[in-house]
């Protein structure tokens, strides 16, 4: 197993290198530079700015310099926020987004798997339709829609919860977490139901039932592992998607997280910040997919047989 | 082959077990409700209530500031914070924006209007207790003009003799620039031309002083983005000092005890919230998290006006919303076509039905009553007949043969709706088709800069209250012209105005220039901006003015 | 592997060959028996035919404004009300449906085709093929999508084809991962090993044995993807890709409706309803299809191991 993990980590290196290289040239090819502003700058000023940020060198030269700095762990200064380094921006935003994402995952997994299980155990009954209808409503209510609706109900009409902030006043973490988690909960519910139905109709379940095991026993001891396979496959990218997807929630609830930086960086053509967040995202994807693949093997012992 | 049987058997047994599962669903719902009620019991006093007790002002402030270095930043959000922290030679009257003594106790202007002598007050101190000196100003302006700093707003100091040449690196020695500290408290400034709005420039943050020892402690004089603007490092000379700065969240300032006029300052502190989403800002205001917003969603204007008019204020703002024509592309190279397009836009209808913020229909570029200047009567009005006639004259009778033009705007709901309304007006009025194209902000900038458009949406906000801040935009070689329009007579008039001392003669030159602009119509003015803001009645001494500047030293909080 | 099992597999192949048509017939019969699925099918047919007939049926033009009227609630003249520029919402919803359904189905089809093939091949082949294919997926996940779209628009200009491409480019990635996970599990099952022993080629096994067995999660994910794509289109039109005003789509109508939901709730409710109805119909249909196509519930087919 450890050999497998090591191999996968090694595979991550070319992935990172390709992403870094592609992104580096992509952002420079995109129209609009980091210093384009409503008021156009005198040519001299632009020249000075470009010199300051090493943008006057040939692109290949810039690329080699950037890789060199990267190896030393230096992501460079942000173009948009001149007195901040990319590392600092990421360091301030990341813990907040990770916390938000964690709560959202808890909401998504608990609600999603539960309702998926409830539905799958008795398909095509009220017990199936009710949670599945809720799940589908959840899919119809993406964060940009659910967020404002929840704020309106719980923040403005009922005055139960704050409409914005993160750790500023009690309870302000609830609405963002629910908002971010619910769309994923809906997906997970649907996928859980589908996966469970596949598994529950297989022979070994029948065998287990024949041996006298109770239904919950069968579900938890035998079926759950296999039934959650689609959910596990989905969760790798989904968790990485939370990082970028949290942008909407962070904007609606005025949360100083990384998602806002990630999207703003692209809009501002903040080259170094785009690079920094992209590198972070790719590391996350590489790691998450390793974890997910290990989880898949753990959940389905058959996968262990062949390397 | 007994699979189908097995499946059916399984299903039956599941039904039997289902009873155990039924309890789970209500439980989940129950837990969620409990969490909500527990946490939602007591939200405590709102920011506004608490702030009114402690004299802490909570302000919505657009986006996260780029930095707090007055010589590097360019935006309105930065202005709002920096004007609390730093003070220039002159301040602004909160109602009229007229220059009032700031760091300079008084000043003397020579008869030809080119020499200014500022006398800095003895009580002027930095927040660490150091005195503010004339050398601090000279040093700060040298920094602002240093080529290596690459200050975007360096041109604000260009009226000073040789400032432009120094900034462009044409001269190396700052001693040749018309700024001189005669002694600790006396600053002499020599201008290139008499510049009647020079004092207004000195109320702009780009001319504010910075604390030289602090800058040098964290880097070189002309270094961008050193750590000197961080809380704990920032040394300020204004009514407030920097207390904390949480990225994308809150910037907090507190009263500066060393400020020369600390007696006047009533507020104990201000919290600036960068809020990207204007709907979020409005909701925060509604729940008492903010004293005032930076703007108001247009759909909310009518609601506030009818239900709580005491919370909303609309005031004229020194800015023009307009469309640019790319005059290098036919058929827009024909002034008659441009005028025809301009004549068929019903500005009043746009204001009444789309923007709804009490904007003023604009037929000339410069807003009316810009420091006493009124643009001359424009040949443009809402006149369908005239517009059709002009288009026919240009060879496109009833819009026949008129190519499909592209209308470029940066993505925003407001711009989109205005563009959709105008698209229909042209379709109905002239029988021509226009295609709407929206892009993100940077692509939009890059395309307008390269004249890669037919018609593009634009806005221009004045830097200082003087027609020059608008009209010099359209100079043939102006970096912000972006229409391809060139006119030598126009250039001469603007350049002549810069050399005149007599305000009346200056304004006459501007009027003549504006008449050329109206006639040639490289721009299609749509409306003069207004500032529509929500504000709690407990905020006192907050006056509407055309720059939307609100010197915080006068503001205080009192709930009625 | 026992002799009789191989025999039964061979006979199974024969059944499939001989009754290929009747298998689909069976599925159709089963689907027809599922009332909910049929309901979903009829709703979808209804929506599609409305979309096709919109230019003849729409009560107004989608761009015709009445600035003085502005936003008004449902009335006799405007059944679903008007938007802030005084345009008929019903008309805009009908025209928007054309765009949304087209984008939803076409982009999903792109992502379905690419994702399923990619996932099956990677999952079935395993080893270094799998590693390379999945790392490509990782790379595409990590690239800054917004910049990518902006660049594509510069190169190719604004077009519908690009829209499908851009959406498909994103959506197939998750599909591929899900399919691969399923295939990896299936591959270890006896009936696949048995099929290998009978000498079927990899392509044949993937098509005949793997594909039918992963239909469940795939159908579910497809029915989830279609509405997600419709909403995603709204984001792309923010970047200038997607529908250009004065045209609209359900996603754009919803995104703008959110901002005025307190003042003009109908501008959010009706587009939201349109999307929800589509989603529910698709899900009913999807679940029915899944059951109908389930090889194990088909008489005689599949499920021979044990």
How would you write A32-63 as a 3-class SS string?
CCCCCCCCCCCHHHHHHHHHHCCCCCCHHHHH
Question: Percent of chain B scored above 90 by pLDDT?
Answer: 76
In a domain, C17, yes or no: no
Size of interface A-B (CB pairs under 8 A): 207
CB contact under 8 A, A163 and B280: yes
In a domain, C66, yes or no: no
CB contact under 8 A, C65 and B420: yes
Q: Which residue carries 């595979």 as its tokens?
A: A11
Interface of B with A in 455-514 (CB under 8 A): 459, 479-480, 482
Interface of A with B in 166-205 (CB under 8 A): 166, 169-171, 174, 200-201, 203, 205
Under DSSP, the state recorded for B403 is P
Cβ burial C154-178 (10 Å sphere, 16+ → b, else e):
eeeebeeebbbbbbbbbbbbbbbbb
Q: Which residue carries 């302006």 as its tokens?
A: B141
Task: Identify which of C234, C273, C241, C239 has the alpha carbon closest to the alpha carbon of residue C255.
Answer: C234
Tokens describing residue C90: 């019903």
Q: What is the pLDDT of residues C159-213, one digit of tens each?
A: 878 888 888 888 899 889 889 988 887 887 778 888 888 888 888 888 888 887 8
According to DSSP, the β-strands at B539-540 and B455-461 are unpaired
DSSP of A229-266: HHHHHHHHHHHHHHHHHHHHHHHHHT---HHHHHHHHH
Mean pLDDT across C135-153? 87
Query: How many folded domains does chain C comprise?
Result: 1
| Length of chain B (residues) | 560
Task: Identify which of C162, C300, C159, C140 has the alpha carbon closest to the alpha carbon of residue B2.
Answer: C300
Task: Identify which of C3, C2, C20, C8 has the alpha carbon closest to the alpha carbon of residue C295.
Answer: C20
* B31 Cβ under 8 Å from any chain A Cβ: no
In a domain, C31, yes or no: no
CA atoms within a 13 Å half-sphere pointing along the CA-CB vector of C202: 10
Mean pLDDT across A179-191? 87
Mean pLDDT across A235-260? 86
Confidence bin at B17 (pLDDT 50/70/90) = very low
Whole-number average pLDDT of chain C: 82
Query: Looking at residue A2, what is its pLDDT?
Result: 79
Residues of B in contact with C92 (CB under 8 A): none
Q: Which residue carries 């925003």 as its tokens?
A: B412
Size of interface B-C (CB pairs under 8 A): 81
In a domain, A155, yes or no: yes
CB contact under 8 A, B7 and C158: no
Residue A194, φ and ψ in degrees, nearest 5 = -65, -45
Rounded Cα distance, C271 and B253, in Å: 45
Task: Identify which of B83, B125, B51 has the alpha carbon closest to the alpha carbon of residue B240.
Answer: B83
DSSP of A173-226: THHHHHHHHHHHHHHHHHHHHHHHHHHHTSHHHHHHHHTT--HHHHIIIIIHHH
Longest dimension (CA), chain A: 84
Min Cα separation B232/chain A (Å) = 15
Query: Looking at residue C32, what is its pLDDT?
Result: 84
Under DSSP, the state recorded for B351 is I
CA atoms within a 13 Å half-sphere pointing along the CA-CB vector of C167: 31
In a domain, C12, yes or no: no
CB contact under 8 A, A161 and B442: no
Residues of C in contact with A198 (CB under 8 A): 216-217
Kindly list the distances between the CA atom of residue B106 and the CA atoms of A13, B129, B265, C154, in Å, as whole numbers in the listed order. Answer: 66, 22, 21, 56
Return the SS3 of B241: strand
Size of interface A-C (CB pairs under 8 A): 151
Of A127, A151, A159, Cβ closest to residue B43: A159
Dihedral sign, Cα of residue B347, residue B350, residue B352, residue B357: negative
Alpha-carbon torsion, ordered B234, A78, C138, A243, to 10 deg: 30
Q: What is the pLDDT of residues A105-143, one digit of tens each?
A: 998 988 888 888 888 888 778 888 888 888 777 777 888
Three-class HEC string of chain C: CCHHHHHHHHHHHHHHHHCHHHHHHHHHHHHHHCHHHHHHHHHHHHHHHHHHHHHHHCCCCCCCCCCCCCCECCCCCCCCCECCCCCEHHHHHHHHHHHHHHHHHHHHHHHHHHHHHHHHHHHHHCHHHHHHHHHHHHHHHHCCHHHHHHHHHHHHCCCHHHHHHHHHHHHHHHHHHHHHHHHHHHHCCHHHHHHHHCCCCHHHHHHHHHHHHCHHHHHHHHHHHHHHHHHHHHHHHHCCCCCCCCCCCHHHHHHHHHHCCCCCCHHHHHHHHHHHHHHHHHHHHHHHHHHHHCCCCCCCCCCCCC
Query: Looking at residue B59, what is its pLDDT?
Result: 96
* A195 Cβ under 8 Å from any chain C Cβ: yes
* A235 Cβ under 8 Å from any chain C Cβ: no
Residue in C closest to A283 by C-alpha: C142
**Angle at alpha carbon of residue A261, lines to A256 and A263, rounded to 5°:** 125
CA atoms within a 13 Å half-sphere pointing along the CA-CB vector of B191: 24
**Where in the sequence is the domain holding C164, given as residue range(s)?**
40-61+79-297
According to DSSP, the β-strands at B240-246 and B186-190 are unpaired
**Angle at alpha carbon of residue A220, lines to A216 and A221, rounded to 5°:** 110
Domain with residue C217: its CATH number is 1.10.3720.10
Burial class (CB in 10 A: 0-12, 13-18, 19+), A304: exposed
CB contact under 8 A, C245 and B3: no
Kindly list the distances between the CA atom of residue B400 and the CA atoms of B340, B391, C197, in Å, as whole numbers in the listed order. Answer: 14, 10, 74
Q: What is the pLDDT of residues B126-172, one digit of tens each?
A: 999 999 999 999 999 999 999 888 888 888 899 999 999 998 889 99
- Which strands form B186-190's sheet, in the order they lie side by side? B104-109, B115-120, B186-190, B179-183
Confidence bin at C18 (pLDDT 50/70/90) = very low
Query: How many folded domains does chain A comprise?
Result: 1
Give strand pairing partners of A216: none
Percent helix, percent strand, percent coil in chain B, to nearest 5:
40, 20, 40
Contact assessment for residue B320 and residue B366, using Cβ atoms and an 8 Å cutoff:
yes
Query: Looking at residue C302, what is its pLDDT?
Result: 34
In a domain, C104, yes or no: yes
Does A85 have pLDDT greater than 70? Answer: yes
Return the SS3 of B113: coil
Does B174 have pLDDT greater than 80? Answer: yes
Min Cα separation C86/chain A (Å) = 23
Tokens describing residue B216: 């040098």
Residue in A closest to B41 by C-alpha: A160
**Where in the sequence is the domain holding A170, given as residue range(s)?**
86-268
Does B520 have pLDDT greater than 90? Answer: yes
Contact assessment for residue A196 and residue A126, using Cβ atoms and an 8 Å cutoff:
no
Residue in C closest to A306 by C-alpha: C188
In a domain, A277, yes or no: no
Q: What is the pTM of this model?
A: 0.88
CB contact under 8 A, A114 and B28: yes
Residues of B in contact with A81 (CB under 8 A): 64, 66-67, 225, 247
In a domain, C49, yes or no: yes
Contact assessment for residue B56 and residue B269, using Cβ atoms and an 8 Å cutoff:
yes
Query: Looking at residue B131, what is its pLDDT?
Result: 95
In a domain, C18, yes or no: no
CB contact under 8 A, B14 and A122: yes
Task: Identify which of C60, C40, C179 has the alpha carbon closest to the alpha carbon of residue C120.
Answer: C179
- Which strands form B240-246's sheet, in the order they lie side by side? B56-60, B269-273, B250-255, B240-246
Of A124, A237, A302, Cβ closest to residue C174: A237
CB contact under 8 A, C144 and A27: yes
In a domain, C9, yes or no: no
Whole-number average pLDDT of chain A: 85
Domain with residue A156: its CATH number is 1.10.3720.10
CB contact under 8 A, C142 and A19: yes
Mean pLDDT across B166-188? 93
Task: Identify which of A50, A16, A19 has the alpha carbon closest to the alpha carbon of residue A35.
Answer: A50
Residue in A closest to C37 by C-alpha: A124
* B1 Cβ under 8 Å from any chain A Cβ: no
Of B13, B447, B479, Cβ closest to residue A215: B13
In a domain, A307, yes or no: no
Which of residues B23 and B82 earns the better pLDDT score? B82
Residue in C closest to B416 by C-alpha: C245
Of A36, A77, A205, Cβ closest to residue B445: A36
Mean pLDDT across B171-184? 94
Residues of A in contact with B21 (CB under 8 A): 117-118, 121-122, 127, 216
Tokens describing residue A20: 């870094």
Burial class (CB in 10 A: 0-12, 13-18, 19+), C17: exposed
Task: Identify which of A128, A111, A112 has the alpha carbon closest to the alpha carbon of residue A120.
Answer: A128
Query: Looking at residue A88, what is its pLDDT?
Result: 92
Interface of A with C in 32-91 (CB under 8 A): none
Which of A254, A268, A272 to probe by mutation at the B interface, max B CB count within 10 Å?
A254
Cβ burial B315-338 (10 Å sphere, 16+ → b, else e):
ebbbbbbbbbbbbebebbebbbbb
Tokens describing residue A190: 């649907």
Rounded Cα distance, A57 and A46, in Å: 14
Min Cα separation B472/chain C (Å) = 32
Residues of A in contact with B440 (CB under 8 A): 32, 267
Rounded Cα distance, C37 and C82, in Å: 34
Residue in B closest to A29 by C-alpha: B443
Residues of C in contact with A18 (CB under 8 A): 139
Q: What is the pLDDT of residues C250-292, one digit of tens each?
A: 999 998 999 888 999 999 999 999 988 998 898 888 888 877 8
CB contact under 8 A, A195 and C217: yes
Prediction ipTM score: 0.88
Does C3 have pLDDT greater than 60? Answer: no
CB contact under 8 A, C238 and B440: yes
Burial class (CB in 10 A: 0-12, 13-18, 19+), B93: middle
CB contact under 8 A, B413 and C256: yes
Give strand pairing partners of B434: B405
Contact assessment for residue A252 and residue A199, using Cβ atoms and an 8 Å cutoff:
no
Of B299, B416, B439, Cβ closest to residue C263: B299
Task: Identify which of C95, C107, C223, C93 has the alpha carbon closest to the alpha carbon of residue C163.
Answer: C107
Does A304 have pLDDT greater than 70? Answer: no
Packing angle, helices A2-29 and A59-71, rounded to 10? 150
The chains found to touch B (3+ Cβ pairs under 8 angstroms) are A, C
Min Cα separation A103/chain C (Å) = 22
Min Cα separation A62/chain B (Å) = 20
Q: Say whether the peptide bond before residue C246 is cis (omega within 30 degrees of 0).
A: yes
The chains found to touch A (3+ Cβ pairs under 8 angstroms) are B, C
Burial class (CB in 10 A: 0-12, 13-18, 19+), A273: buried
* B249 Cβ under 8 Å from any chain A Cβ: yes
Task: Identify which of B395, B412, B415 has the alpha carbon closest to the alpha carbon of residue B455.
Answer: B415
Residues of B in contact with A252 (CB under 8 A): 277, 279-280
Contact assessment for residue B387 and residue B344, using Cβ atoms and an 8 Å cutoff:
yes
Which of residues A296 and B418 earns the better pLDDT score? B418
CB contact under 8 A, C85 and B299: no
Q: What is the pLDDT of residues B55-64, one digit of tens each?
A: 999 999 988 9
CB contact under 8 A, C294 and A201: yes
């Amino acid at each position: 197993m450890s050999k497998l993990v090591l191999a996968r980590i090694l595979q991550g290196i070319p992935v990172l290198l390709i992403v870094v290289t592609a992104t580096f040239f992509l952002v420079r090819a995109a129209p609009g530079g980091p210093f384009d502003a409503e008021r156009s700058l005198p040519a001299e000023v632009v020249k000075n700015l470009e010199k300051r940020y090493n943008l006057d060198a040939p692109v290949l030269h810039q690329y080699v310099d950037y890789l060199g700095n990267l190896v030393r762990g230096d992501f460079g200064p942000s173009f948009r926020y001149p007195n901040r380094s990319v590392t600092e921006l990421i360091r301030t935003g990341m813990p907040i987004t990770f916390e938000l994402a964690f709560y959202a995952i808890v909401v998504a997994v608990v609600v999603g798997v539960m309702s998926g299980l409830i539905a799958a155990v008795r398909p095509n009954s009220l017990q199936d339709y009710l949670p599945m209808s809720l799940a589908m409503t959840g899919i119809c209510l993406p964060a940009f829609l659910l967020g404002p609706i929840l704020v309106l109900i719980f923040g403005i009409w009922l005055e139960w919860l704050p409409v914005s902030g993160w750790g500023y006043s009690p309870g302000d973490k609830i609405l963002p977490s629910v908002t971010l988690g619910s769309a994923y909960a809906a997906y997970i519910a649907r996928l859980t139901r589908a996966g469970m139905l596949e598994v529950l109709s297989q022979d070994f379940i029948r065998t287990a039932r024949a041996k006298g095991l109770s239904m919950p026993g069968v579900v938890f001891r035998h079926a759950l592992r296999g039934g959650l396979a689609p959910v596990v496959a989905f969760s790798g990218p989904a968790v990485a998607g939370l990082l970028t997807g949290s942008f909407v929630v962070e904007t609606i609830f005025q949360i100083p997280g990384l998602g806002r930086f990630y999207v703003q960086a692209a809009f501002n053509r903040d080259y170094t910040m785009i690079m920094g967040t992209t590198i972070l995202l790719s590391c996350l994807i590489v790691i998450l997919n390793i974890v997910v693949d290990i989880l898949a093997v753990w959940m389905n012992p058959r996968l262990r047989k062949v390397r | 082959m007994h699979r189908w049987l097995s499946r059916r058997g399984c299903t039956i047994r599941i039904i039997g077990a289902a009873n155990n599962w039924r309890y789970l669903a209500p439980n989940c719902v129950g837990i969620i409700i409990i969490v909500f009620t527990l946490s939602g019991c007591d939200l405590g006093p709102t920011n506004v209530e608490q702030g009114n007790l402690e004299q802490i002002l909570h302000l919505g402030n657009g986006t996260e500031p780029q930095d707090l270095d007055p010589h590097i930043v360019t935006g309105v959000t930065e202005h709002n914070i920096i004007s609390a922290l730093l003070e220039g030679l002159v301040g602004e009257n909160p109602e009229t924006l007229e220059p009032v003594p700031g760091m300079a106790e008084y000043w003397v202007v020579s008869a030809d209007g080119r020499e200014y002598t500022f006398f800095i007050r003895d009580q002027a101190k930095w927040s660490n207790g150091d005195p503010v000196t004339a050398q601090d100003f000279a040093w700060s302006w040298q920094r602002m003009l240093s080529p290596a700093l690459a200050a975007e707003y360096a041109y604000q100091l260009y009226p000073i003799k040789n400032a432009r040449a120094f900034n462009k690196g044409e001269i190396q020695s700052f001693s040749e620039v018309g700024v001189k500290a005669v002694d600790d408290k006396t600053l002499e400034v020599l201008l290139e031309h008499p510049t009647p709005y020079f004092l207004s420039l000195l109320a702009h943050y780009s001319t504010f002083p910075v604390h030289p020892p602090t800058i040098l402690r964290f880097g070189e004089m002309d270094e961008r983005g050193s750590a000197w603007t961080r809380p704990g490092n920032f040394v300020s000379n204004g009514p407030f000092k920097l207390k904390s700065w949480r990225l994308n969240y809150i910037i907090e300032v507190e009263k500066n005890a060393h400020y020369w006029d600390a007696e006047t300052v009533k507020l104990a502190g201000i919290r600036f919230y960068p809020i990207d989403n204007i709907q979020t800002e409005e909701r925060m205001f509604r729940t008492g998290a903010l004293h005032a917003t930076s703007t108001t969603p247009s759909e909310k204007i009518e609601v506030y006006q009818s239900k709580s008019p005491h919370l909303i204020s609309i005031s004229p703002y020194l800015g023009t919303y307009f469309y640019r024509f790319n005059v290098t592309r036919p058929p827009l190279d024909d002034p008659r076509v441009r005028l025809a397009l301009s004549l068929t836009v019903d500005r009043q209808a746009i204001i009444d039905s789309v923007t709804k913020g009490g904007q003023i229909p604009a037929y000339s570029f410069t807003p009316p009553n810009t420091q006493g200047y009124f643009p001359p009567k424009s040949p443009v009005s809402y006149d369908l007949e005239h517009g059709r006639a002009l288009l026919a004259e240009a060879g496109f009778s009833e819009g026949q043969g008129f190519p499909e033009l592209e209308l470029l705007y940066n993505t925003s709901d407001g711009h989109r709706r205005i563009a959709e309304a105008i698209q229909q007006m042209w379709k109905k009025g002239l029988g021509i088709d226009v295609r709407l194209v929206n892009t993100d902000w940077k692509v939009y900038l890059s395309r307008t800069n390269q004249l890669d458009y037919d018609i593009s949406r634009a806005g221009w906000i004045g830097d200082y209250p003087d027609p020059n801040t608008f009209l010099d935009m359209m100079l043939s070689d102006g970096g912000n012209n972006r229409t391809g329009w060139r006119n030598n007579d126009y250039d001469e008039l603007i350049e002549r105005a810069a050399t005149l001392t007599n305000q009346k003669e200056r304004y006459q030159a501007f009027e003549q220039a504006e008449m050329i602009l109206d006639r040639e119509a490289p721009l299609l003015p749509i409306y003069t901006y207004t500032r529509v803001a929500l504000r709690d009645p407990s905020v006192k001494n907050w006056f509407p003015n055309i720059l939307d500047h609100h010197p915080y030293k006068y503001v205080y909080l009192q709930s009625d | 592997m026992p002799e009789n099992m191989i025999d039964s597999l061979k006979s199974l192949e024969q059944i499939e060959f001989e009754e290929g048509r009747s298998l689909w017939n069976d599925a159709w019969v089963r689907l027809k028996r599922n009332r909910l699925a049929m309901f979903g099918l009829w709703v979808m047919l209804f929506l599609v035919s409305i979309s096709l007939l919109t230019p003849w049926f729409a009560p107004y033009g989608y761009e015709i404004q009445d600035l003085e009227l502005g936003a008004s609630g449902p009335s006799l003249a405007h059944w679903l009300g008007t938007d802030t520029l005084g345009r008929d919402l019903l008309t805009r919803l009908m025209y928007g449906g054309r765009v949304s359904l087209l984008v939803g189905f076409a982009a999903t089809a792109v992502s379905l085709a690419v994702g399923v093939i990619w996932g099956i091949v990677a999952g079935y082949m395993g080893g270094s093929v799998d590693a390379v294919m999945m790392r490509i997926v990782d790379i595409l996940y990590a690239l800054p999508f917004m910049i990518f779209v902006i660049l594509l628009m510069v190169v190719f200009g604004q077009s519908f084809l690009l829209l499908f491409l851009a959406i498909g480019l994103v959506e197939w990635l998750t599909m591929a991962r899900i399919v691969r996970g399923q295939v990896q599990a299936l591959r270890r099952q006896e009936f696949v090993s048995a099929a290998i022993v009978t000498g079927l080629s990899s392509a044949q096994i993937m098509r005949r044995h793997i594909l039918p067995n992963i239909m469940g999660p795939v159908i579910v994910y497809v029915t989830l993807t279609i509405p997600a794509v419709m909403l995603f289109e709204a984001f792309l039109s923010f970047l200038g890709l997607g529908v250009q005003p004065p045209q609209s789509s359900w996603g754009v109508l919803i995104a703008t409706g959110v901002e005025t939901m307190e003042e003009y709730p109908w501008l959010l409710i009706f587009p939201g309803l349109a999307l929800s109805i589509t989603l529910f119909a698709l899900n009913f249909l999807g679940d029915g299809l899944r059951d109908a196509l389930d090889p194990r519930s088909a008489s005689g087919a599949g499920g021979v191991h044990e």
